[in-house]
Amino acid sequence: MTSLGVLSPNRSTPRKYLPVLVTGGLFLAMFVVGGIRYEGFASGQVVLNVFIDNAFLLVVAVGMTFVILTGGIDLSVGAVVALATMISASLVTDGGWPPVLVIPLVLAVGAVLGLAMGCVIHYFDIQPFIVTLAGMFLARGLCYTIGTDSISITDPTYTGLAQARIDLPGGAFVSPSVLVAVVVILAGAYVLHYTRLGRNVYATGGGEQSALLMGLPVARTKIAVYTISGFCSALGGVLLSFYMLSGYGLHAVGMELDAIAAVVIGGTLLTGGYGYLLGTVLGVLVLGLIQTIISFEGTLSSWWTKIFIGLLLFAFILLQRLGVARRT
């Protein structure tokens, strides 16, 4: 199975890590070029700022990686993020609920939505694209039943976390959201590479029929990955509510595409069965660094971010196709 290559080095191990190395090399090249071109760019805080500004996307992309590794797709993540911000803002601001109750409730809502979509996908044998598209419309619709306007969050806990800084050596700093994202990444990597669920995820993505013939719990695995994705989306929404200090039905529009782009640029095959969370992290950093370079340039429209991401996607999908053709 593909996942066993992580634990059992062999001749093909360097090729397995090639997409991650390419993404890492791209990130380093962009950072070096930015450091040469822009004053003040070549500093550790610039990289940490990319983490700070994209902590919520990192968490969402972790859940998306689980789904894509099984050969599925989740188009609902952006809408679930927005729903999480709306539930948080409405309960904290309008309802007066304490954050200690709101945050677990929001996470439970996201996990239940993911669980429901996973059950529909498997037991009714419907394409994940269709089911999660319906989930996207459902979550967006629920946002607007809560409210059509942006709801500001003034709760002291939220504002305190939004303004908090964790100092690092050398005068650098990160936000608490970055620590949450790092914990999620480490937990996700552990699950994928050192647990039975992780091995089942890779096996299901490598070939669902083969996994069934081997007696693996494909149903439980597929439902689990969509539940994980829903949970990560809700957690990403909580982190976004800290970042924006508001809930809005139009938050995170297109975030599902950013998450998919980060996973693909990180080297995970869209057909499933192959990929690493480290690649996803590097993919998010590449997207964030593109935005940083454009902001340093000052003369380019923010729409150039989408253009560069589109070109990178074309390039990495082509590389994936060539790699698959070479292996076969």
Domain ranges, ordered by start, for the chain: 16-323
- Nearest Cα neighbor of 216 from 205, 203, 228 is 203
Pick out the chain residues at pLDDT < 70. 1-14, 323-328
If you write DSSP's letter for every residue of 271-298 in order, what string do you get?
TSS---HHHHHHHHHHHHHHHHHHHHH-
Task: Read off φ and ψ for residue 313, nearest 5 degrees.
Answer: -60, -45
Which pair of structure tokens corresponds to residue 290? 């593109």
Summarised one tens digit per residue, pLDDT across range 294-323 is 888 877 777 788 888 888 888 888 877 776
Region label for 6, one of left (φ > 0), alpha (ψ between -120 and 50) or beta (otherwise): alpha
Give, rounded to a whole angstrom, the gap between the first and last alpha carbons of the chain: 16
Residue 255 CB contacts under 8 Å (≥ 6 apart), including other chains = 57, 60, 77, 78, 81, 236
Summarised one tens digit per residue, pLDDT across range 142-197 is 999 999 999 999 999 999 999 999 999 888 999 999 999 999 999 999 999 999 99
Strands 166-167 and 151-152 turn out to be unpaired
Look up residue 99 and give its amino acid.
Answer: P
CATH topology of domain 16-323: ABC transporter involved in vitamin B12 uptake, BtuC (1.10.3470)
